[in-house]
Amino acid sequence: MLQLRTAEEEKRSCEISQLRQAVLQNNDRLLDEMLCQEIYKKVINCRGGWGIAGTPLHAAVSKGHLSCLQVLLAHGAIIDCVDVKAQTPLFAAVRGKYLDCVLTLLKAGANPNGSSSNNCSPVLTAAREGDAEILKQLLKHGAEVNSRSKVLLWTSSARVSSGPLYLAAVYGHMECFKLLLLYGADPDHNCTDAKLLSSDKQPKTVLEMCLRHGCGVEYIQLLIDFGANVYLPTLIIEKSTKQNEAVELLLRERGNPKALTSQCRLVVRRHLRKINKINCIDQLEMPTSLINFLQHKAAPVTVL
Protein backbone atom coordinates (compact mmCIF):
# COMPACT_ATOMS: atom_id res chain seq x y z
CA MET A 1 0.00 0.00 0.00
CA LEU A 2 1.47 3.33 -1.04
CA GLN A 3 1.67 6.10 1.54
CA LEU A 4 -0.92 8.75 0.70
CA ARG A 5 1.34 11.74 1.41
CA THR A 6 4.84 12.13 2.75
CA ALA A 7 5.81 14.51 5.56
CA GLU A 8 7.41 16.79 2.96
CA GLU A 9 4.20 16.83 0.93
CA GLU A 10 2.17 17.78 4.02
CA LYS A 11 4.63 20.54 4.89
CA ARG A 12 4.73 21.99 1.38
CA SER A 13 1.04 21.63 0.53
CA CYS A 14 0.65 25.33 -0.32
CA GLU A 15 3.51 25.35 -2.85
CA ILE A 16 2.35 22.04 -4.31
CA SER A 17 -1.15 23.43 -4.78
CA GLN A 18 0.14 26.56 -6.52
CA LEU A 19 2.30 24.49 -8.85
CA ARG A 20 -0.62 22.22 -9.71
CA GLN A 21 -2.86 25.22 -10.42
CA ALA A 22 -0.40 26.55 -12.99
CA VAL A 23 -0.36 23.10 -14.64
CA LEU A 24 -4.15 22.65 -14.60
CA GLN A 25 -4.60 26.13 -16.09
CA ASN A 26 -2.11 25.15 -18.84
CA ASN A 27 -0.01 28.21 -18.03
CA ASP A 28 3.36 26.95 -19.18
CA ARG A 29 5.04 30.38 -18.93
CA LEU A 30 4.04 30.82 -15.28
CA LEU A 31 5.02 27.23 -14.59
CA ASP A 32 8.48 27.83 -16.04
CA GLU A 33 8.93 30.97 -13.93
CA MET A 34 7.85 29.16 -10.77
CA LEU A 35 10.22 26.26 -11.34
CA CYS A 36 13.14 28.65 -11.61
CA GLN A 37 12.55 29.36 -7.92
CA GLU A 38 14.01 26.93 -5.38
CA ILE A 39 10.83 26.80 -3.27
CA TYR A 40 8.84 25.34 -6.17
CA LYS A 41 11.64 23.26 -7.62
CA LYS A 42 11.72 21.35 -4.32
CA VAL A 43 8.12 20.17 -4.79
CA ILE A 44 8.21 19.34 -8.51
CA ASN A 45 7.86 15.61 -7.71
CA CYS A 46 5.50 15.94 -4.74
CA ARG A 47 1.95 14.61 -4.83
CA GLY A 48 -1.12 16.66 -4.10
CA GLY A 49 -4.70 17.37 -5.14
CA TRP A 50 -8.06 15.85 -4.33
CA GLY A 51 -8.98 12.24 -5.08
CA ILE A 52 -6.07 10.33 -6.58
CA ALA A 53 -3.12 12.39 -5.37
CA GLY A 54 -0.50 12.75 -8.08
CA THR A 55 2.49 14.88 -9.05
CA PRO A 56 2.36 17.95 -11.33
CA LEU A 57 3.45 15.63 -14.15
CA HIS A 58 0.35 13.50 -13.55
CA ALA A 59 -1.79 16.64 -13.57
CA ALA A 60 -0.31 17.80 -16.90
CA VAL A 61 -0.87 14.53 -18.77
CA SER A 62 -4.30 13.93 -17.25
CA LYS A 63 -5.45 17.08 -19.09
CA GLY A 64 -3.30 16.61 -22.17
CA HIS A 65 -1.31 19.79 -21.47
CA LEU A 66 1.73 19.03 -23.61
CA SER A 67 3.53 22.37 -23.13
CA CYS A 68 3.36 22.03 -19.33
CA LEU A 69 4.58 18.45 -19.61
CA GLN A 70 7.58 19.65 -21.61
CA VAL A 71 8.35 22.39 -19.06
CA LEU A 72 8.22 19.90 -16.18
CA LEU A 73 10.54 17.48 -17.94
CA ALA A 74 12.94 20.30 -18.78
CA HIS A 75 13.11 21.18 -15.08
CA GLY A 76 13.91 17.59 -14.07
CA ALA A 77 10.56 16.05 -13.13
CA ILE A 78 10.88 12.31 -12.42
CA ILE A 79 9.35 10.67 -15.46
CA ASP A 80 8.22 7.39 -13.85
CA CYS A 81 6.92 8.82 -10.57
CA VAL A 82 3.71 7.20 -9.32
CA ASP A 83 0.49 8.50 -7.82
CA VAL A 84 -1.25 6.88 -4.84
CA LYS A 85 -2.56 4.08 -7.11
CA ALA A 86 0.92 3.33 -8.51
CA GLN A 87 -0.02 4.85 -11.87
CA THR A 88 2.79 6.53 -13.81
CA PRO A 89 2.31 9.67 -15.94
CA LEU A 90 2.54 7.46 -19.04
CA PHE A 91 -0.34 5.34 -17.76
CA ALA A 92 -2.40 8.51 -17.20
CA ALA A 93 -1.58 9.77 -20.71
CA VAL A 94 -2.63 6.44 -22.26
CA ARG A 95 -5.84 6.39 -20.24
CA GLY A 96 -6.61 9.93 -21.42
CA LYS A 97 -5.78 9.00 -25.05
CA TYR A 98 -3.30 11.87 -25.41
CA LEU A 99 -0.99 10.56 -28.12
CA ASP A 100 1.31 13.59 -28.15
CA CYS A 101 1.89 13.27 -24.40
CA VAL A 102 2.48 9.52 -24.77
CA LEU A 103 5.09 10.11 -27.47
CA THR A 104 6.84 12.82 -25.45
CA LEU A 105 7.06 10.60 -22.38
CA LEU A 106 8.30 7.58 -24.35
CA LYS A 107 10.96 9.64 -26.14
CA ALA A 108 12.06 10.99 -22.76
CA GLY A 109 12.60 7.42 -21.51
CA ALA A 110 9.38 6.53 -19.70
CA ASN A 111 8.96 2.82 -18.92
CA PRO A 112 6.41 1.60 -21.52
CA ASN A 113 5.18 -1.03 -19.04
CA GLY A 114 4.29 1.48 -16.33
CA SER A 115 4.78 0.55 -12.67
CA SER A 116 5.04 -3.10 -11.60
CA SER A 117 3.03 -2.16 -8.49
CA ASN A 118 -0.03 -1.24 -10.55
CA ASN A 119 -2.67 -3.88 -11.28
CA CYS A 120 -2.98 -2.67 -14.88
CA SER A 121 -0.51 -1.47 -17.53
CA PRO A 122 -0.44 1.01 -20.43
CA VAL A 123 -0.65 -1.84 -22.97
CA LEU A 124 -3.68 -3.41 -21.29
CA THR A 125 -5.40 -0.02 -21.19
CA ALA A 126 -4.70 0.79 -24.85
CA ALA A 127 -5.86 -2.69 -25.95
CA ARG A 128 -9.08 -2.43 -23.96
CA GLU A 129 -9.83 1.07 -25.27
CA GLY A 130 -8.97 0.17 -28.87
CA ASP A 131 -6.41 2.94 -29.26
CA ALA A 132 -4.29 1.37 -32.00
CA GLU A 133 -1.84 4.24 -32.55
CA ILE A 134 -0.98 4.56 -28.86
CA LEU A 135 -0.70 0.78 -28.59
CA LYS A 136 1.66 0.72 -31.59
CA GLN A 137 3.91 3.37 -30.02
CA LEU A 138 4.06 1.45 -26.72
CA LEU A 139 5.00 -1.76 -28.53
CA LYS A 140 7.59 0.02 -30.71
CA HIS A 141 9.23 1.29 -27.53
CA GLY A 142 9.49 -2.22 -26.07
CA ALA A 143 6.32 -2.66 -24.01
CA GLU A 144 5.62 -6.24 -22.90
CA VAL A 145 3.14 -7.66 -25.38
CA ASN A 146 2.24 -10.57 -23.10
CA SER A 147 1.57 -8.41 -20.05
CA ARG A 148 -1.39 -9.37 -17.92
CA SER A 149 -3.55 -8.02 -15.15
CA LYS A 150 -2.61 -9.02 -11.62
CA VAL A 151 -6.25 -9.47 -10.67
CA LEU A 152 -8.57 -12.35 -11.49
CA LEU A 153 -11.20 -12.08 -14.17
CA TRP A 154 -14.55 -11.13 -12.68
CA THR A 155 -16.20 -14.49 -13.37
CA SER A 156 -13.40 -17.01 -13.01
CA SER A 157 -9.83 -17.69 -11.95
CA ALA A 158 -8.57 -17.51 -15.56
CA ARG A 159 -5.91 -14.85 -15.10
CA VAL A 160 -3.99 -16.16 -18.10
CA SER A 161 -6.84 -15.03 -20.36
CA SER A 162 -6.83 -11.44 -19.15
CA GLY A 163 -3.92 -10.23 -21.26
CA PRO A 164 -4.13 -7.50 -23.92
CA LEU A 165 -4.85 -9.94 -26.75
CA TYR A 166 -7.91 -11.23 -24.92
CA LEU A 167 -9.12 -7.70 -24.14
CA ALA A 168 -8.70 -6.54 -27.73
CA ALA A 169 -10.75 -9.52 -28.92
CA VAL A 170 -13.68 -9.32 -26.50
CA TYR A 171 -13.99 -5.55 -26.99
CA GLY A 172 -13.91 -5.99 -30.77
CA HIS A 173 -10.71 -4.05 -31.52
CA MET A 174 -9.40 -5.90 -34.57
CA GLU A 175 -6.59 -3.46 -35.38
CA CYS A 176 -5.21 -3.74 -31.85
CA PHE A 177 -5.61 -7.51 -31.94
CA LYS A 178 -3.50 -7.80 -35.08
CA LEU A 179 -0.91 -5.32 -33.77
CA LEU A 180 -0.37 -7.40 -30.66
CA LEU A 181 0.16 -10.55 -32.73
CA LEU A 182 2.55 -8.74 -35.08
CA TYR A 183 4.64 -7.61 -32.11
CA GLY A 184 4.94 -11.13 -30.76
CA ALA A 185 1.94 -11.80 -28.52
CA ASP A 186 1.70 -15.49 -27.65
CA PRO A 187 -1.35 -16.67 -29.69
CA ASP A 188 -2.26 -19.43 -27.23
CA HIS A 189 -2.37 -17.89 -23.74
CA ASN A 190 -0.95 -14.38 -24.27
CA CYS A 191 1.20 -15.32 -21.29
CA THR A 192 4.72 -16.70 -20.95
CA ASP A 193 4.69 -17.15 -17.17
CA ALA A 194 5.11 -20.92 -16.72
CA LYS A 195 4.26 -20.72 -13.01
CA LEU A 196 0.98 -18.94 -13.73
CA LEU A 197 0.03 -21.35 -16.50
CA SER A 198 0.73 -24.38 -14.29
CA SER A 199 -1.44 -22.94 -11.49
CA ASP A 200 -4.55 -23.64 -13.58
CA LYS A 201 -5.21 -27.26 -14.55
CA GLN A 202 -6.95 -26.23 -17.77
CA PRO A 203 -5.94 -22.67 -18.67
CA LYS A 204 -8.20 -21.15 -21.32
CA THR A 205 -6.51 -20.21 -24.58
CA VAL A 206 -7.23 -16.97 -26.43
CA LEU A 207 -8.67 -19.12 -29.23
CA GLU A 208 -11.16 -20.73 -26.87
CA MET A 209 -12.13 -17.40 -25.33
CA CYS A 210 -12.71 -15.95 -28.81
CA LEU A 211 -15.03 -18.86 -29.61
CA ARG A 212 -16.92 -18.47 -26.34
CA HIS A 213 -17.41 -14.75 -26.89
CA GLY A 214 -18.40 -15.13 -30.55
CA CYS A 215 -15.56 -12.90 -31.75
CA GLY A 216 -15.94 -14.01 -35.35
CA VAL A 217 -14.04 -15.81 -38.08
CA GLU A 218 -11.51 -13.01 -38.67
CA TYR A 219 -10.13 -13.32 -35.11
CA ILE A 220 -9.90 -17.10 -35.37
CA GLN A 221 -8.15 -16.84 -38.74
CA LEU A 222 -5.53 -14.43 -37.37
CA LEU A 223 -4.79 -16.69 -34.40
CA ILE A 224 -4.38 -19.63 -36.77
CA ASP A 225 -2.10 -17.62 -39.09
CA PHE A 226 0.08 -16.61 -36.14
CA GLY A 227 0.52 -20.18 -34.97
CA ALA A 228 -2.15 -20.82 -32.34
CA ASN A 229 -2.45 -24.48 -31.34
CA VAL A 230 -5.78 -25.45 -32.92
CA TYR A 231 -5.96 -28.67 -30.88
CA LEU A 232 -6.05 -26.95 -27.48
CA PRO A 233 -9.57 -25.42 -27.37
CA THR A 234 -12.55 -27.40 -26.15
CA LEU A 235 -15.25 -26.82 -28.77
CA ILE A 236 -18.68 -25.86 -27.49
CA ILE A 237 -21.17 -25.60 -30.34
CA GLU A 238 -23.92 -23.03 -29.81
CA LYS A 239 -26.67 -21.70 -32.04
CA SER A 240 -24.77 -18.57 -33.01
CA THR A 241 -24.12 -18.52 -36.76
CA LYS A 242 -20.98 -16.45 -36.28
CA GLN A 243 -19.59 -18.90 -33.74
CA ASN A 244 -20.44 -21.93 -35.88
CA GLU A 245 -18.56 -20.42 -38.83
CA ALA A 246 -15.53 -19.97 -36.58
CA VAL A 247 -15.78 -23.56 -35.34
CA GLU A 248 -16.00 -24.84 -38.91
CA LEU A 249 -12.85 -22.90 -39.76
CA LEU A 250 -11.08 -24.40 -36.77
CA LEU A 251 -12.16 -27.93 -37.68
CA ARG A 252 -10.92 -27.48 -41.26
CA GLU A 253 -7.58 -26.31 -39.92
CA ARG A 254 -7.34 -29.39 -37.71
CA GLY A 255 -7.77 -31.60 -40.73
CA ASN A 256 -5.29 -29.84 -43.01
CA PRO A 257 -1.57 -29.28 -42.31
CA LYS A 258 -0.17 -25.78 -42.77
CA ALA A 259 1.69 -24.94 -45.96
CA LEU A 260 5.46 -25.22 -45.69
CA THR A 261 5.83 -21.47 -46.33
CA SER A 262 3.56 -20.69 -43.37
CA GLN A 263 5.50 -23.10 -41.18
CA CYS A 264 8.77 -21.38 -42.14
CA ARG A 265 7.32 -17.96 -41.31
CA LEU A 266 6.22 -19.17 -37.87
CA VAL A 267 9.68 -20.62 -37.14
CA VAL A 268 11.44 -17.37 -38.10
CA ARG A 269 9.02 -15.22 -36.10
CA ARG A 270 9.28 -17.48 -33.03
CA HIS A 271 13.06 -17.23 -33.12
CA LEU A 272 12.95 -13.45 -33.44
CA ARG A 273 10.52 -13.27 -30.53
CA LYS A 274 12.77 -15.55 -28.46
CA ILE A 275 15.80 -13.27 -28.95
CA ASN A 276 13.65 -10.16 -28.45
CA LYS A 277 14.09 -8.98 -32.04
CA ILE A 278 10.53 -9.26 -33.34
CA ASN A 279 10.52 -5.48 -33.91
CA CYS A 280 13.55 -5.72 -36.21
CA ILE A 281 12.05 -7.57 -39.18
CA ASP A 282 12.38 -4.44 -41.34
CA GLN A 283 16.14 -4.52 -40.75
CA LEU A 284 16.68 -8.06 -42.06
CA GLU A 285 18.85 -8.34 -45.16
CA MET A 286 16.35 -10.00 -47.46
CA PRO A 287 14.03 -9.03 -50.32
CA THR A 288 11.11 -6.73 -49.49
CA SER A 289 8.66 -9.44 -50.55
CA LEU A 290 10.02 -11.77 -47.84
CA ILE A 291 9.96 -9.03 -45.21
CA ASN A 292 6.32 -8.32 -46.11
CA PHE A 293 5.56 -12.03 -45.85
CA LEU A 294 7.10 -12.22 -42.36
CA GLN A 295 4.96 -9.24 -41.35
CA HIS A 296 1.79 -10.85 -42.72
CA LYS A 297 1.40 -8.12 -45.33
CA ALA A 298 -0.52 -8.93 -48.49
CA ALA A 299 1.63 -9.25 -51.60
CA PRO A 300 1.13 -6.32 -54.02
CA VAL A 301 -1.00 -7.09 -57.05
CA THR A 302 1.01 -7.07 -60.28
CA VAL A 303 -0.75 -5.27 -63.13
CA LEU A 304 0.05 -6.80 -66.54
Specify the pLDDT at position 240. Answer: 54
Do 161 and 78 lie in a common domain?
A: no
CA distance 266 to 82: 39
- pLDDT-derived band of residue 162, with 50, 70 and 90 as boundaries? confident
Do 113 and 143 lie in a common domain?
A: no
Do 2 and 101 lie in a common domain?
A: yes
Range(s) of the domain holding residue 284? 258-293
Give the CA distances from residue 35 to residues 11, 20, 32, in Å, rounded to whole numbers and listed in that order: 18, 12, 5
Check whether 159 has a pLDDT greater than 80: no
Bigger pLDDT: 160 vs 30:
30
Are 190 and 166 in contact, with CB atoms under 8 Å apart? yes
Does residue 204 fall inside a structural domain?
Answer: yes
Do 131 and 54 lie in a common domain?
A: no
Does residue 9 fall inside a structural domain?
Answer: yes
Do 110 and 127 lie in a common domain?
A: no
Do 246 and 124 lie in a common domain?
A: yes
Do 174 and 84 lie in a common domain?
A: no
Does residue 244 fall inside a structural domain?
Answer: yes
- pLDDT-derived band of residue 100, with 50, 70 and 90 as boundaries? very high
Q: What is the pLDDT of residues 109-129, one digit of tens each?
A: 999 999 988 888 999 999 999
Do 64 and 170 lie in a common domain?
A: no
CA distance 179 to 130: 11
| Number of other residues whose CB lies within 10 A of the CB of residue 252 | 11
Q: What is the pLDDT of residues 176-214, one digit of tens each?
A: 999 999 999 999 988 877 777 776 667 788 998 898 888
Do 113 and 125 lie in a common domain?
A: no
Q: Average pLDDT over the chain, rounded to whole?
A: 86
Q: What is the pLDDT of residues 229-252, one digit of tens each?
A: 988 877 655 555 566 788 888 888
Specify the pLDDT at position 137. Answer: 98
Does residue 196 fall inside a structural domain?
Answer: yes
Adjacent-strand bridge partners of 54:
48
Does residue 152 fall inside a structural domain?
Answer: no
Do 209 and 276 lie in a common domain?
A: no
Do 174 and 285 lie in a common domain?
A: no
CA distance 117 to 202: 28
CATH number, domain of 168, equals 1.25.40.20
Does residue 301 fall inside a structural domain?
Answer: no
pLDDT-above-90 percentage for the chain: 60
- Class of residue 216 by CB neighbours under 10 A (exposed 0-12, middle 13-18, buried 19+): middle
Do 114 and 194 lie in a common domain?
A: no
What would the DSSP string read from start to end of 240-256?
A: -HHHHHHHHHHHHHHHS
**Number of domains within the chain:** 3
